[in-house]
Structures are given as structure tokens and as C-alpha cells.
Amino acid sequence: MLIRFLSISLVLSLTGCAKSWSAHQSNTNKDSGVGPFDGTTGKLATGERCTASSDCTSGLCLGVGTELLCSELCGPCPKPTYCSHVDPHTAPDGEEPAASGFYCLPDRGGLCKPCGSDVNCTYPGDKCLDLGGGEKACGRDCSYDQTCPVGYQCIGGQCHPNGGSCDCTTDRIGATQRCENSNDFGTCHGSQTCSTTGWEDCDAQEPGPEVCNGLDDDCDGVLPDDEKDTDGNGIIQCQEHCQPQPEQCNLKDDDCNSVVDDGDPVVMCGSVDHGLPACVAGACQIDRCDDGYRDLDESFDNGCECQIPPSGGTACAAAENLGSVDDSGQILTVGTVLGQDEEVWYKVQSVDLPEGANSTCDTFHFRAQFTSNPDDSYLMDVFSGDCTQQAVCPQSMTDFSWYTNFRQGSGSSAIGECDCLDDPTQNGEGYNQCQDNSATYLIRVYKIPNGTVSCQAFQLEVSNGVYSP
């Protein structure tokens, strides 16, 4: 496509407008920059990109910045176009630029788009508005007839958001703004409306793989060659020459129904041991495992290979409550299997029973240890307190203890709760005050990064009063 540039310096100054649009274009079916034809005339409708004025129903291919768009003089403009002032400096090859004036342009949703200067806004007639409080957003030229969309008012020739902000407020109900939906296939643009409950969900389509349907499924603005009707017989090429085959998981429309990978996942991918398959983005994957089974090695071939006991919570606030262990000598044992970057949480109450007057020693001894640690691939962190205010104990360990049944020194210099007195009024030499050491402990067990993947479960033993210091 050839475009004549009459003023190089001015055209370059408008380049930002074209770039701004390309990052916010609508999800329309465009082929090499040329849009859909008007069904009654066989020519391009107002607002579509063109290469010559003869392409357009209106008979005018207008230079807008560095773009060429089918357009017409305002009065009124067909929806979804609106009126804006244009000072054309480009034209199709062999044509003269149109005169400056008010022309109908496609509504690309530039209102309230964040901006730093005018060149960030959709068209040269749109200005970057300083709304105060550090908020700057694009307005829209309304100088022709002072008309603005719902939620905006024309002030000084530009559409300003009601209330002086682009937020969804009560005085902007019915206003729309641009939004997008993105995934691995691409980004589709749409709009969302301000309602009494806030911004509604975005209406942008979900990007997907290109399918033989004549639509821009991945929203990149370009159709593959085989989705075009090259011979003009009303049938797009890929449908005309499609030979139905059994559907496979390959991002192709094998059965010619205009949908890719829509066969039975079991037929396309085969069965999965202890689980169900799925076809995702042209690859067979494990959709889910049966209860009590896990897929740790992420291999489709061996399915959900690990049979595991469910155990632990996924976060501190959801820690599995193991109950309590008191210092009369109690043991609890739990365990499970974890994958890479996974962790489980447990909570246990350790109880320090009264020792009685003139007891020999306080037997309180809380301990958490791995009794089985396959390939030494598990570690634990132990906290006392709760999830909002944790007293941190030593971290990244395989064996943790907290005890008081020890003694150092003699006579009045003896420390530790052995020997100890339960009655605070007594002051026997060589004895110490017995304290209540009861506490709640939170235990986080996690897989060492890049540790060995194994179906062998760890075994965690939690005890109190069982072991000597």
C-alpha cells in the first residue's frame, strides 16, 4: 500500500496516534488492513481501513494521521462512528489529501484511556485531559455538535468524564470503557459498562486458536490465507477444500466442523491411569486425578502415578488441626507426598501438665521430627503462636525440640525446671519455679526446591514428654 506524505515533519508528529490505536484495536475481522465489506454495495463501510477511495461506500479514503480510513463528512455519522476534526496530510497513492474538516471516524474506545500527552490518544482531535490528583486520561473531540457518550459531557470541545474522574461512580452509570481478555493465544479487546454495582464483566471474547470459520479467533487483526474466499464463490478456502478426518489433539479442525480439538479426550488422547485426560492447546494433558491419587512427575504416559494419603492444609490459616499432645508422653504421626514447590501446614497444641509440689522435674518436651524423609527432600519450619503473630523458632530443619527438663549449675544458681517447685511461695534452695509451657505450634512441611520427585510419603512425628533432652 502506497501513501503519499505531504508533510514529513507533521506526519512523524502523528505517529504516536497510530501506535496508540494498534495497541487498543477492536476484535474485528481485518484482512491485510482491509475491513468487512458493506453487504449492499460490495464496498467498505465508513470506519474501515482502505487503500483507495474507490474501495469505500462513501467514496472517500481519508488520511487520518498515518492511517487510511473510509470516511464521510459529519452530519450525522453512522454508528459506531463519531464526528471528529481531521486535518489530512496523507492520501492514497494517486489521490490528493482531503480538505480539513469534520469527518466520521470509528469509535475505538479511546475515552478515559490513560495518557501522558495528546499523542497517546486515539485521534489527533482527541486531547489528554488533566483530571487532577495525578489522573490524566484521553478525552474525545466533541466540538462539532457537543455530543458525548453516556457518562461524559462536552467541555471546551472535549468529552470529559462526569464527576471529573474515570472511575465508575453514580453519575457515570451507563459509561463504557475499554477492557481486554488475554491468554496464550492472544489478546481480545472489548468494553465494560459502569452499573450500580461497579464495572460489569468485560465483553471481550476469549482468544483461541485460529479455526476455519472466517473469524479472527486469536484477535491479531489478521486472517490466515486459508480463511479467505480467494475465488469469490462465497465459501472460504479451508471449508471448500477440507477433507473430514477423525479429530485429533493438534490445534487443527480435522473433522471440518469449524472447531479444533473438539473430540472425545479419551479417543484423542487415550485413557489415563487413575484419572481423566484433556486436550489443551493441542497437547494431551491430565485433566484431573481420581481421589487419593496425584500426578507428581507431570508425565501423561504414566497418569496419576502416586497413591497418597490426604494430609495437611495448603496455608497457615488452613492448617490441619492435629489436636493436642501433653507431657504425659504422647505421639502423633502424619504424612503425605508433595510435588515441587508444594507445602502443607499442621497445627498442634502442646500441653504442659501441672507437675505437683516438689516434683523432681518438669517433663515437658515438645518435639517434631521426620521419622521418614524420602531422599532427604523435605524440610520443616516450626512457629509458635498463630498465623497473624508468629513467634519464629529456628527454621529449615528436620528435627525440632522445645523442652525445659534440664539443669545447669547448683544451689541458687541452678537453672531450668529440674528440680522444681510448683508452689510460688516456696523458695527451696536448688529448686526452680515450675512454669506452664503450653503453646500452640504451627508446622510447615515443604519440598526442597528441585528435590527428588517420589511417590514415597514423608512421616512426621509430633510428640511431648517422650524424649529426654
Each residue's pLDDT tens digit, 241-255:
888 899 999 988 888
> Which pLDDT belongs to residue 288?
92
> Which pLDDT belongs to residue 120?
92
Per-state percent for the chain, helix, strand, coil, to nearest 5: 10, 35, 55
- What mean pLDDT is predicted for residues 306-318? 89
> Which pLDDT belongs to residue 328?
87
Q: Where in the chain is the domain with CATH 2.60.120?
A: 316-464
Per the listing, cell 488441626 goes with 321
Q: Where does the pLDDT of residue 450 fall: very low under 50, low under 70, confident under 90, or very high at 90 and above?
A: confident
> Which pLDDT belongs to residue 276?
95
The set of residues, in sequence order, having a beta carbon less than 8 Å from that of 329 and lying 6+ positions away, is: 363, 463, 464, 465, 466
Q: How many CB atoms lie within 10 A of CB 128?
A: 18
- What mean pLDDT is predicted for residues 125-140? 92
Q: Where does the pLDDT of residue 406 fall: very low under 50, low under 70, confident under 90, or very high at 90 and above?
A: low
CATH number of 316-464: 2.60.120
Alpha-carbon torsion angle 273, 279, 285, 288, nearest 10: -60
Measured distance CA(113)–CA(261) in Å, rounded: 37
Is pLDDT of 458 > 90?
yes
Q: In terms of residues, how long is the chain?
A: 469
Is pLDDT of 39 > 80?
no
Q: Where does the pLDDT of residue 140 fall: very low under 50, low under 70, confident under 90, or very high at 90 and above?
A: very high
> Which pLDDT belongs to residue 91?
93
Chain-centre distance for alpha carbon 432? 58
Each residue's pLDDT tens digit, 100-124:
999 999 988 889 989 999 999 989 8
Alpha-carbon torsion angle 401, 404, 408, 412, nearest 10: 160
pTM assigned to the model = 0.49
Q: Where does the pLDDT of residue 21 fall: very low under 50, low under 70, confident under 90, or very high at 90 and above?
A: very low
Is pLDDT of 144 > 90?
yes
Question: Are β-strands 320-326 and 343-351 bridged in parallel, bridged antiparallel, or unpaired?
Answer: parallel
Q: Where does the pLDDT of residue 180 fall: very low under 50, low under 70, confident under 90, or very high at 90 and above?
A: confident
Q: Where does the pLDDT of residue 414 fall: very low under 50, low under 70, confident under 90, or very high at 90 and above?
A: low
